[in-house]
Chain A
Amino acid sequence: MSAPGVSDVPARRWQVPSALGSSLLLRTTSFGVSIGAIAVGFGVALVLITVTGASPAESVQALVDGAVGSPAATASLAAKTVPLGLVALGWIVAAQARRVNIGLEGQMIVGGVVSAAVGLSVDGLPIWIHLPLAVLAGAVGGGAYAAICALLWERRGVNEIFSALMLNIVAVQIAAWVIRGPLAEGGASFARTGELPDSARWGRVVGTYVFSWDWVVLVAAVVVVGLVLPRTTAGFRLRLVGANPEAATFAGVRTARVSVAAFVASGALAGLAGSSMILAGETYRMTDGFAAEYGYVGIVVALVAGNGALAVIPAAVFFSFLRQGGGLLEARVGVPLSIVTITTGTVIILLASASRPVERLRTRRAAAAAAGTGTSRRRSRTSGPDDAPPMADTAEPTDTIVAADPTGAGPTGTEPSETGPTGVGPTGVGPTTEQVRT
């Protein structure tokens, strides 16, 4: 490619995966950075608490009591983990293909709506048909909603950040309408749907505590995304497209199609989260604001987990802990619950800010390690995945070429493997050209 300039940029540049994708999407933040961000977030919260005149020690005590002080609280904490974890997995799946799915909130809401619709409108089915049907409906709803973004991007070159933001708000309106219109409970004093029939409910695990059997869905999703996907061709293609779309295209991967699939899968996971919030919810109904911004908090969970599927569970537990404990914080000490939102927002911003310095540090270390081989090179201004050719135009004719062998070394296989993003390691086709800099 020639010198940078206006004429270089492909007209449908939004079609290029990673046009907006950043280092945050692929590289895992280190464990230490996550802990550090959380610690600073907590510090900010404690300072604010002190400023309001409440005792920090009492506040922490209230937070802990609210989260794990009683069996009921612990069960609620565990129950919150499920949708949060599922949303975070949705982010991770899209991120592996370097797609930013900012529409998780909307996809989750639509998943919940479709799930509730199936749960409420069908009657008389046995539970082993009705419940899976309703759960599946949630996934399909979320996936279909994500497909709007993905297809608008693929067919029309619409930037999916913008379309997803628009659709998030449309989803809120859809839910508001459904609660007041088609699924409204007759004679209710405020807007809510009727109660789900027993056949569309996740059973409670212990007694009547909120924690339900839908945790099985979360564990299954973690296993699929974290353990199965890395070992399949589909997962390999996903990461290849994310790591180096140019190489993926040359390897015969239909890059655009993989990206769309990743986005839809991401939406389906968010839809599952929405379905869990209804089918295993506290009241087994849909009300206004049932999504509780989990679609955004889930992003933090994924970031704290360093985009690793297995780390999602502890990260989700932590943020459920905050949200669950925050309730008692307000009731007992009088510190507004929004302190939890403040902490969450702070952690997001800190992690985002830390991603580049961390990456720098790693790159420098890797460069030092590679100095012996003398392969350090400089990236030219316009090379790298950011400027890969438009996918829709180049993906079709190459699909007869045999896809790269997952076990074989890729074109850049001689690069030090520890510089590659986790997950792409075994293939050796990581985005090493942009990793190693002088």
Chain B
Amino acid sequence: MSPFDAAWLGASIRLAAPLVLAATGETVAERAGVINIGLEGMMISGAFAGYAIGAATGDPWLGMLGALVVGVLVGLLTALVTVVGKADQIVVGVGLNLLALGATTFLFRDLFSESAPKVGPIGRWEVPLLSDLPVVGEAVFHQSPLVYLAFLSVPVMALVVSRTNFGLSVRAAGDSPSALDTAGVRVTGVRVAATCIAGGLAATGGAFLSVGQLGMFNEDMTSGRGFLALAAVIFGRWRSTTVMIACLLFGMVDALQLRLQSLGVVPRGVWMVVVVGAVIAAVLVRPRRAGAEGMVVSGGRGAAPLLAAVLVCLAAGWAWMAQPDWTAPTQLWLALPYLLTLVALASLQNRDDSPLELGLPYSRDGSR
């Protein structure tokens, strides 16, 4: 049987949804020049806040809303330290991850040690008409409404970033904060707002896991999804749509890995997909001429992606022919999104689309 069926597609979309939320917010923050390593911490905060508020009120939707508010507050706190206080964004992110993991575990044990009620989960919703489509209808269009909201956030944020004044300020804050300052816009304010958006969306993504899907909170339940979302932002090269595609890709890998666990052996179809994927990647990664600013960049390029693709094809072909009953370790699939991001980072050096002032604090006198 093939692991690539409609149910797999549905699972991919469901698994991608929290990533999409977190990554979309992070895209906005990074476009404004703020690296938010604490994304994982924001997600777990949201997961807990959503659950706790949902348990207190009995309404998972209120939990989601509460998570959004808590996320914005966490984002605000982070921004106060890193943007206003100009503290190192990386180190603060590490601290936030530890703090949020510790605090949620602590509070969960303290508040829900005797009994942890089940909240929600939020039921599934059939999209009218579309859910009647053959094959994919049931799998793709019969999901939690949160899934659709998550994917809806992508065009919304994309439009905000590309078409509104605020979006222009965000992009300027990331690429040329001094120009923004000259234009009379407060760089700090824009960056704080962007970080709050990141916090709010990441927390909503976390709450999606707790009250949206499981109806429960577990310690460390985001289990690295914040880092996965961070990877998606890099993989998607700071553009909302490509970031979403990256999230979907990671969701597909995750869903595939879950299915393969039950299948035991790796079906041949998987190897075929690996080969096709490698060829597509090699074509897409084809080197382009130097950037618009006329920056001439030295360094080897050209044959490397092609060579890598050929190697992957050979390996996949070998696995296909020689190892019919090889059970790929789960860990390989779990690590795959990160490895893909690494490869993407390494091969896209000449098309570095990261915001120019990413991770750097801004002040008028140029001190850092």
A residues neighboring B (CB under 8 Å): 4-7, 9-14, 19-20, 22-25, 48, 51-52, 100, 102, 152, 155-159, 161-163, 165-170, 172-174, 176-177, 180-181, 293, 296-297, 299-300, 303, 336, 338-349, 351-353, 355-356, 378-384, 386, 393, 434, 437
Contact indicator A349/B365 (Cβ below 8 Å): no
Instruction: Say which residue of B81, B224, B290, B300 sits within 8 Å of A11 (CB atoms).
Output: B290
Can you list 19 A-B pairs with a CB-CB distance of less than 8 A? A11-B291, A20-B360, A52-B110, A158-B342, A158-B346, A169-B227, A177-B331, A300-B95, A338-B101, A338-B105, A342-B103, A345-B100, A345-B102, A348-B92, A348-B98, A355-B87, A379-B366, A381-B366, A384-B368
Which of B35, B87, B175 counts the most A-chain CB atoms under 10 A from its CB? B87
Knowing A169-B338, A299-B94, A437-B367, the reply to whether A24 touches B103 (Cβ < 8 A) is no
Given A152-B342, A356-B85, 6 other A-B residues pairs in contact with their CB atoms under 8 A: A22-B91, A161-B35, A296-B98, A297-B98, A338-B102, A380-B366
Q: Which of A300, A338, A379, A382 has the most CB of B within 10 A?
A: A338
Question: Residue A381 contacts which of B103, B178, B345, B356 (CB distance < 8 angstroms)?
Answer: B178
Provided the pairs A48-B106, A345-B97 are in contact, do residues A353 and B85 lie with their beta carbons within 8 angstroms?
A: yes
**Cβ-based interface call for B295 (8 A):** yes
CB pair B98–A181 under 8 Å, yes or no, is: no
A-B pair number, CB within 8 angstroms: 212
The listed residue (A102, A180, A299, A352) touching B81 by CB distance below 8 A is: A352
Pick the contact of B331: A102, A173, A384 (CB < 8 A). Answer: A173
The yes or no answer to B218 lying at the interface (CB within 8 A) is: no
User: Which chain B residues border A48 with CB–CB below 8 Å?
Assistant: 106
CA distance A174 to B341 in the complex (A): 17
B332 contact set on A, CB distance < 8 A: 173, 177
Q: Which residues of B contact A173 (CB under 8 A)?
A: 331-332, 334-335
Residues of B within 8 A of A158 (CB): 342, 345-346, 349
Given the known interface contacts A5-B179, A170-B335, A336-B110, the answer about A11 and B352 at a Cβ–Cβ threshold of 8 Å is yes
Using an 8 Å CB-CB cutoff, how does the interface string of B307-335 with A read, 1 for contact, 0 for none? 00000000000000000000001011011
Contacts of A343 in B (CB 8 A): 102
Cβ A386 vs Cβ B360 within 8 A? yes
Residue picked from A152, A165, A296, A347, most chain B C-beta under 10 Å: A165
Q: Are B102 and A340 in contact (CB under 8 A)?
A: yes
Q: Please, how many angstroms separate the alpha-carbon atoms of A345 and B102 in the complex?
A: 8
Q: Is the CB of A339 within 8 A of B102?
A: yes
Are A5 and B176 also in contact (CB < 8 A) when A336-B105, A342-B102, A356-B86 are? yes
Contacts of B356 in A (CB 8 A): 6, 9, 13
A-B pairs, 9 with minimum CB distance: A345-B99, A341-B102, A348-B95, A345-B98, A342-B102, A22-B88, A338-B105, A381-B366, A173-B331
Interface residues in chain B, defined as those with a beta carbon under 8 Å from any beta carbon in chain A? 35, 37, 81, 85-92, 94-103, 105-106, 109-110, 175-176, 178-179, 224, 227, 230-231, 234, 290-291, 293-295, 297-300, 329, 331-332, 334-335, 338-339, 341-342, 345-347, 349-350, 352, 354, 356, 359-360, 365-368
Report Cα–Cα, A9/B292, bound state, in Å.
13
A165 CA to B338 CA, complexed, in Å: 9
Q: Which of B294, B334, B342, B366 has the most CB of A within 10 A?
A: B366
Partner of A170, one of B37, B338, B354, B368: B338
A11 & B297 in contact (Cβ 8 Å cutoff): yes
- Contact at A293–B359, with CB atoms within 8 Å? no
B345 to chain A, nearest CB (A): 5
> Is there contact, CB below 8 Å, between B90 and A102?
yes
Q: A4-B176, A52-B110 are in contact. Are A167 and B329 (CB under 8 A)?
A: no
Q: List B contacts of A176 (CB < 8 A).
A: 331
- In the complex, the answer to whether A159 meets B99 with C-beta atoms within 8 Å is no
Chain B's nearest CB lies how many Å from the CB of A191?
Answer: 11
Smallest Cβ-Cβ distance to B293: which chain A residue: A7
- On whether the beta carbons of A12 and B176 are closer than 8 Å, the reply is no
CB contacts (< 8 Å) of A168 on chain B: these are: 227
A159 to B359 alpha-carbon distance, docked (Å):
11
Query: Which residues of chain A are within 8 angstroms of B224 by Cβ–Cβ distance?
Result: 169, 172
Q: Which residues of A contact B102 (CB under 8 A)?
A: 338-345
Nearest Cβ in chain A — how far from B308, in angstroms?
13
By a CB distance below 8 angstroms, the chain A residues around B341 are 162, 166
Q: Tell whether, in the assembled complex, residue A353 and residue B81 are in contact, meaning their CB atoms are under 8 Å apart.
A: yes
Least distance between A402 CB and chain B CB atoms (Å): 27
A177-B329 CB under 8 A given contacts A12-B349, A102-B90, A169-B335:
yes
Q: What distance in Å separates the Cβ of A436 from its nearest Cβ neighbour in chain B? A: 11
How near does chain A come to B177, taking the closest CB pair, in angstroms? Answer: 9
- Least distance between A425 CB and chain B CB atoms (Å): 22
Residues of A near B360 (CB, < 8 A) are 19-20, 386
Residues of B within 8 A of A353 (CB): 81, 85, 87, 92
Q: Which residue of chain B lies nearest to A3 when distances are taken between CB atoms in the complex? A: B178
Chain B contacts for A25, CB-based, 8 A: 88
A50–chain B nearest beta-carbon distance, Å: 12
Residues of A contacting B338 in the complex (Cβ-Cβ under 8 angstroms): 166-167, 169-170
Known: A102-B90, A163-B345. A345 touches B175 (CB 8 A): no
CA distance A343 to B105 in the complex (A): 13
